A and B are shown apart, each in its own frame.
Chain A
Amino acid sequence: MGYMENMGNMGNMENMENMGNMENKTKTTAKEKKKTEALLKVENISLSFIQYASGLRQTELKVISNLSIEAHSGEILAVVGSSGSGKSLLAHAILGILPSNAKLDGKMEYNGQQLTPEKKEEIRGKEIALVPQSTNYLDPLMRISNQVIGCVEEKNEGLMKKVQRDIFQKYDLKPDVDRMFPHELSGGMTRRVLVSTAVMSSAKLIIADEPTPGLDEKTLNETLSYFKDMANRGCAVILITHDIEAALKISDKIAVFYAGTVLEVANVEDFKNNGENLRHPYTRALWNALPQNKFQAIKGHQPMQDEVIDGCIFYERCSKKNELCSKGIPQLKSVNGGVVRCNNVS
């Protein structure tokens, strides 16, 4: 628990470096693993919804386009983007729980195998676990222990009950929590219960969808430490969040999500000083917008989902744009240990 206590003291970004030292050990193990194959590979996926516009005319609303990420075992990949930019849909796409009017293109690989819809259905809940964001994701009329145990065969129920109790014990959830209903849980307890569901599944890939909204400093750090633990035990963790500070505290890599695509995947060490090491102008702008940095916002807003954009999706707001940027989506380039979608980086 020493880790958590340290986390509690880390109010601001200047301490990030200390944290880097502290986490040296995990960093090296993570680095070793980088050379191995990614557990989850998402390549150029696009997601659109078929909607009925006026009358019977169908339109396609594109919410994710040309998105590529990779998740490695033992690492935390944070997907950071503003609220409402379609981050949760990415999680649902990986799990295969999108609504029926969604259309998903592109390639996904899990553990070297093609991730088809059938495969997703087979492994979700077993190999891939979702940690949802709020108590709304718990059945309001089911007792907590039953929910966490989930749907199991009767003969295994006793065993699973014991496993569940052990996990709860570890997360400091008292025996009376077992018999509670979701509305009786406090915010912190809800968080630990939701995390328990993932631990219960012994999944290798954990997708946490906004696991830290509206939490106080202490609970936030505590929750983050659970994910760090999972990564240390060898899980690949995808942390989807709008809170870049929270992401920087524990992640190994940060994928910057903007208007349905990932503009840059940077290493966490790149986020320092004035962001000289960051590759994409948007990432730099995001970093400089933080209160403890320059506290400067850039003009404009993300393009709407129904806007058709020919060139770089960030073109309108970019300070370094040139003619090339308005024609065609920039290719994904590997630069300095990260990847970026920008013409002006070499």
Chain B
Amino acid sequence: MLDKDKIAGFIGNKILRLLSLLIVVCFVSFMLIQYSPIDPVRAYIGEMPVSAEHKANLEEYWGVNTPPQEKFLNWAGDALKGNFGISLIYRMPVTDVIKERFTASLVLMAASWLFSGILGFILGIIAGMKKGTWIDKTIKIYCYVLAATPTFWLALILLMVFSVYLGWFPIGLSVPIGVTAENVTFLDWFLRLILPALTLSLLGVAQIALFTREKLIEVLSSDYVLFAKARGEKGLDLVLRHGIRNVALPAITLQFLGFSELFGGTVLVEQVFSYPGIGQAAVAAGLRSDVPLLLGIVIVSACFVFFGNAIADLIYQFVDPRIKQQEASI
């Protein structure tokens, strides 16, 4: 009963927070775009030559001279109804663009999130167990190098080595050029996913591995591990029984908190690999002044990061027995 009430409270609280966050995010992004030197008419007509009269008509159509507050309210009103407008560069509803692009990105992000989480955790555990040995030092150096590596640079290196020199993987895009959608095989798509996912994973590994290592060393020097040793537990059994149990929860929480970095990394990686995901769309929308699409992406990405943080909170509050207990006693 208590738990049910608590979960309802938690969800209610989160929804309220999300709503207030979205309102602020929308408002601020809208204002940023409003005061930036973006000309929607220019974005729409591109390089086409138009007459002054035609241009005035277009300005009238796009509402260039409407006051900003009215613009915002119009947009917000439509957005509430689920209509985010038409993307200027793709010439289709923003919701459709985001749906398509986000699905592609989600596969990429999920793959690298899982892979980096698992690999990072294992590396961290090994390094922590073997603290001070050459294995630990190797893993640490690897992590420091990766943590200092810019995403796009690593992406370029991988692309050069594996696609250009070795020719193991296709160079870019998510499907082969000149093949109709029905004829694209799973393998075609999968091969093009590997390098971007690998880039994102390799970078994600550093943070989680270093964190896991640090946490495991802390756990292994704790009183309860000392006592476990005194009771005859040792070696891998000891680490599995007490180490993993106490490190897993904070590590998983951290991995969920990393959604924002994951998203940021995706933008760059998709750009380098020309992977048609949400990140690439965001860059395109920004560069070519596609205001409706940009706002739509801002909202979706805010929700995405918020979702990650909410899950981290959820784990923290409902899975850890210590916190659970404290909350209940208040």
Contact = CB atoms under 8 A, between A and B. Distances in A.
B6 interface: no
A137 B227 contact: yes
Interface stretch (B53-61, B237-245, B310-318): B237-245
A130 B233 contact: no
Interface in B184-229: 222-224, 226-229
B37 interface: no
Interface string A124-156: 111001101010111111100000001100000
A126 B238 CA distance: 16
Interface string A172-197: 00000000010110000000000001
Contact of B325 (A97, A132, A183): A183
B178 interface: no
Nearest to A136: B223
A142 B219 CA distance: 14
Nearest to B232: A125
B81 interface: no
A141 B246 contact: yes
Nearest to A151: B233
A201 B69 CA distance: 75
B242 A139 contact: yes
A138 B325 contact: no
Contact of B231 (A92, A130, A140, A141): A130
Contacts of B224: 136-140
A121 interface: yes
Chain B interface residue number, banded: 20 to 34
Given A140-B246, A142-B245, A184-B325, A150 B233 contact: yes
Contacts of B234: 121
Given A136-B224, A181-B325, A124 B246 contact: no
B322 A140 contact: yes
Chain A interface residue number, banded: 20 to 34
A312 interface: no
B216 to A, nearest CB: 14
Contacts, number: 73
A183 B321 CA distance: 9
A141 B319 CA distance: 10
A95 interface: yes
B322 A137 contact: no
Given A137-B223, A141-B321, A95 B230 contact: yes
Nearest to B238: A151
Taking each of B224, B230, B321, which has the highest tally of chain A beta carbons within 10 Å of its own beta carbon?
A: B230
B322 to A, nearest CB: 5
Contacts of B245: 139, 141-142
Contact of B242 (A97, A142, A183, A197): A142
B241 to A, nearest CB: 6
A151 B223 contact: no
A139 B230 CA distance: 13
A202 to B, nearest CB: 12
A138 B245 CA distance: 13
Interface string A92-103: 100101000000
Given A126-B232, A137-B223, A151 B237 contact: yes
A130 B230 contact: yes
Nearest to A100: B132
9 contacts: A95-B229, A97-B230, A124-B232, A125-B231, A130-B231, A142-B242, A151-B232, A151-B233, A151-B238
10 closest cross-chain pairs (CB), A and B: A125-B232, A125-B231, A137-B227, A130-B230, A136-B223, A181-B321, A139-B224, A137-B223, A97-B229, A151-B233
Given A125-B230, A138-B227, 5 more contacts: A97-B229, A124-B231, A125-B232, A139-B228, A141-B249
